[in-house]
Amino acid sequence: MPELPEVEVTRLSFAGRITGAKVVSAHLGKALRWPLGCRVTQLTGRFVQGVRRRGKYLLIDLDGGLLLVHLGMSGSLQFADHLPAAGSHDHFEMVTSRGSLRLKDPRRFGAVVYVDSEDAPMACKLLGKLGMEPLSESFEVGQFQAQLKRRKAAIKQVLLAGDVVVGVGNIYASEALFWAGIRPTLSAARLTRARAAKLHAAIRDVLTRAVAKGGSTLRNFSSASGVNGHFQFETMVYARAGQPCRACGAPIKTLRQGQRSTFYCPKCQT
């Protein structure tokens, strides 16, 4: 599943090029997770004012309303002057005066939703309960620790839930916990302020480095320009079960948490 770095890399790869473009036409393929929310022809003639990100959602601001785009489990965006004929996994395309934006999503868990504003009921449903943005100034360590103190669940599960801090998916939660030296099964409420501060810094650092590396391409992720990510080549624990820890040499272990695989070093993380 594309996580926050992949979504941010996607945004950066086309936001500058599409901003200011006029929508010439738009087309829908097979149904996605939620309905579009308007007739697809209503997008024609709109102007793109910018592209933002909230968690794993891309917000494409139009001169009237906005599109909320989620990549789901297997989705990716393409943006180019000319795209080949749409295939069976291409489910949304917006042709603009500066190029065509297309959503490819084999599993169709993604979504493109039009709303009049961020105050619209559907926007509030999708965005209203999202936690702090980890790469923004609003991600403050004191508030982060205060939120963790209210959670008895395992810290890895709390990070994945997305209502404390948003967008820290499976790969980056495992990596951040390694760098913070925290066992993924530890109750979030048991983290001291000092350990919460280390985790706070590790989350920001891991996500920043992942964005700089173009995200992680584990199966088929690429940016809207078709560029693969490379962060997967420098993970410390993720997908390295049985291999020696790069820091201490102990074998990396794995366990299941909430039906997701967690990777950790039994010596470095306590």
- Determine whether 125 is an active site residue: no
pLDDT digits (tens, 9 = 90+) for 63-104: 999 999 999 988 899 999 989 888 889 999 999 999 999 999
**223 plus 256 within the same structural domain:** yes
- Determine whether 56 is an active site residue: yes
Q: What's the CATH number where 66 sits?
A: 3.20.190.10
Distances from the Cα of 245 to the Cα of 172, 184, 242, 260, angstroms: 17, 16, 9, 21
* The pLDDT value given to residue 254: 97
What is the domain count for the chain? 2
**Domain-terminating residue out of 78, 99, 127:** 127
- The answer to whether residue 119 is domain-embedded is yes
Residue 8 has pLDDT above 70, yes or no: yes
Q: What's the CATH number where 154 sits?
A: 1.10.8.50
> Active site residue: 54, 151, 213, 260, which one?
260
Report, as an integer, the average pLDDT of 246-255: 97
> Active site residue: 17, 53, 56, 195, which one?
56
**42 plus 89 within the same structural domain:** yes
* The pLDDT value given to residue 220: 67
- The answer to whether residue 136 is domain-embedded is no
- pTM, whole model, 2 decimals? 0.93
**112 plus 35 within the same structural domain:** yes
* The pLDDT value given to residue 229: 85
- Expressed in angstroms, the distance from the first to the final Cα of the chain is 28
- The answer to whether residue 49 is domain-embedded is yes
* The pLDDT value given to residue 200: 98
**57 plus 146 within the same structural domain:** no
- The answer to whether residue 72 is domain-embedded is yes
pLDDT digits (tens, 9 = 90+) for 17-56: 999 999 999 999 988 999 999 999 999 999 999 999 999 9
pLDDT digits (tens, 9 = 90+) for 132-180: 999 999 999 999 999 999 999 999 999 999 999 999 999 999 999 999 9
Kindly write down the DSSP assignment for every residue of 122-156, as one continuous string.
HHHHHHTT--B-TTSTT--HHHHHHHHHT--SBHH
Residue 258 has pLDDT above 80, yes or no: yes
pLDDT digits (tens, 9 = 90+) for 194-243: 999 999 999 999 999 999 999 888 766 778 888 888 889 999 999 999 99
* The pLDDT value given to residue 219: 67
**152 plus 238 within the same structural domain:** yes
**163 plus 227 within the same structural domain:** yes
- Determine whether 234 is an active site residue: no
Residue 111 structural domain: 4-127
**192 plus 149 within the same structural domain:** yes
Do 182 and 212 form a contact (C-beta atoms < 8 A)?
no
Locate tokens 């995200």: which residue? 215
- Determine whether 260 is an active site residue: yes
Residue 1 has pLDDT above 80, yes or no: no
pLDDT band of residue 60 (cuts 50, 70, 90) is: very high
**Domain-terminating residue out of 127, 154, 181:** 127
**17 plus 121 within the same structural domain:** yes
